[in-house]
Structure 1
Amino acid sequence: MSTTVKELTVLEAFLISTGIVALAEIGDKTQLLAFILAARYRKPLPIVLGILVATLLNHGLAGALGAWLTSLISAEHLRWILGASFLAMAVWILVPDKIDEDDLGRTRYGAFTATLVAFFLAEMGDKTQIATVALAAQYEALFAVVMGTTLGMMIANVPAVYVGEKLAHRMPVRLVHSIAALIFALLGIAILAGVGASLGLEG
């Protein structure tokens, strides 16, 4: 792979990761969590920093898992798995999230620590974490994917911390999720089409 092609692939991984996660996070439980934390602590900066650190840790682990999977599974099988995963994500993202404020519990720690713990746990098994695994495996550009998904999280959640629920009521959540679902579906179809072409299944 030439340097130029590699750079374009890394840029594509970063931009796709940023866009998908930013769209997927609108109305997601972690954005709802950002609203709740902002209302509870009224300290935007520690909350934003908590979201940043939690996301870097969580998505870093997810990206590393995705990169590791590429070394365990053959390229052909990996494409089938990734194609199916992206299609499943397209469906999953259309399912609305909700969060109970009581689930946060009470903490004697400050806004930063509470946000760090709450966001890290909320992201475990969440759609954006699974997407990070799949994207890292697809693009084999760990740093670009993790930076992209982290930026996407910040784009969606920082305004939620500073502006609050007024922003949420004005966002066309269903439309935004439909766009994100379409992107996931197109990625899945493209990957599966690539499998079919490699196996001589194209029409």
Structure 2
Amino acid sequence: MITAFLVSFGVIFVAELGDKSQLMAMTFALRYRWWVVVLGITIATTAVHAVSVGLGHFLGLSIPGDLMSIVGGLAMLVFGFWTLRGDSLDDDESVKAERVSKSILLAVVGSFFLAELGDKTMLATITLATDHNWAGVWIGSTIGMVAADGLAIAVGALLGRRLPEKAIAYGAAVLFFVFAVWLTAEGLVTANNFVVTIFTITAIAIIVSGGTWYVRSHREHARLEAERAERGRIADEQAPAERSLTTAAD
């Protein structure tokens, strides 16, 4: 159980670095008491990870351990590229974080619960629970996420509420790639099967090529969106001056 706790704490802590949940935590903490935000995160995380651990434990009983180790390694590789992509809050999430007025605790719980459904921290918890003690994974993953979000709130306050998001994303991605190599190698050694090895190498090649393309296309899209937003801002600033010149000419 201790091993499951430590591994889960480390993996989920890393998975949460630069995640949208951290951005939501910081946004909530800008307007509301930090302990209310942390309590809400704890409640939501406990619930989401309970579901994740249940799913992972069921899968672990159904699939051989060596294959689950390989699948876990491939999942960590995917999470690494997911982290490199970067994360941001969409309009709905930003509104939820900035305009909550009633039942703050319930709003934080609801926002984080919905944000974590299908997120990489939930998927990582499911992966961990397939091959580790369920209680250790549940406790470790919950504390890991709360610690990461709490750290974001504290560091954000100290650094003027701005985090070095790119540096955090790169560091977290590297750690995910290390976890991927570790788990995949462990599974391949245990399986000692030529077919499994070929399948794993093929899957790695597909994930790396697809992940590289995905990260590049996402960044290109983000760059184009930023340029479009900048042009819109400049146009909005110039519009009053142009109207004034037109009025003066008339």
Q: Scaled by the length of structure 2, what TM-score is found? A: 0.67
1:50 corresponds to which of 40, 49, 55: 40
Correspondence 1:133 to 2:123: no
Which of structures 1 and 2 has the bigger CA Rg?
2
Encode CA deviations 1:97-135: one digit per residue, 9 max, x unaligned: 100312558656411100000000000111111111111
**Residues 84 and 170 of structure 2 are in contact (CA less than 8 Å); yes or no, is this contact kept in structure 1?**
yes
Alignment of 1:184 with 2:176, yes or no, is yes
Q: Kindly indicate whether the alpha-carbon contact (under 8 Å) linking 1:54 and 1:120 is maintained by their aligned counterparts in 2.
A: yes
Alpha-carbon distance in structure 2 between the residues aligned to 1:115 and 1:71: 34
Identical-residue share of aligned pairs (%): 33
Q: Which residue of 2 aligns with 1:144?
A: 136
Tell me, in whole angstroms, the C-alpha distance in 1 between the residues paired with 2:4 and 2:67. 21
Other-structure match for 2:73: 83
CA contact (8 A) 2:28 2:97 kept: no
Secondary structure in structure 1 of the residue aligned to 2:55 = helix
Structure 2 counterpart of 1:188, one-letter code: A
Q: Which has the higher contact order (CA 8 A, sep 6+)?
A: 1
Q: CA deviation at 1:200?
A: 5.2
TM-score by length of 1: 0.81
Secondary structure of the structure 1 residue equivalent to 2:84: coil
**Structure 1 position 141, deviation (Å):** 1.0
SS at match of 2:85: coil
> Which ranges of structure 1 fall in alignment gaps of 5 or more residues?
1-9
- In structure 2, what residue type is equivalent to 1:127? K
Secondary structure (helix, strand or coil) at the match of 1:52 reads: helix
Higher fraction of helix: 2
Q: Report how many aligned residue pairs link the two structures.
A: 190
> CA contact under 8 A between 1:24 and 1:128: conserved in structure 2?
yes
1:118 aligns with 2:111: yes
1:1-203 counterparts in 2 under 5 A? Answer: 10-40=1-31, 42-99=32-89, 100=91, 101-102=94-95, 109-138=102-131, 140-161=132-153, 164=156, 166-167=158-159, 168-169=161-162, 171-197=163-189, 198-199=191-192
Corresponding residue of 1:6: none
The 2-side partners of 1:118 and 1:129 are apart by: 15
**Letter of the structure 1 residue corresponding to residue 180 of structure 2:** G
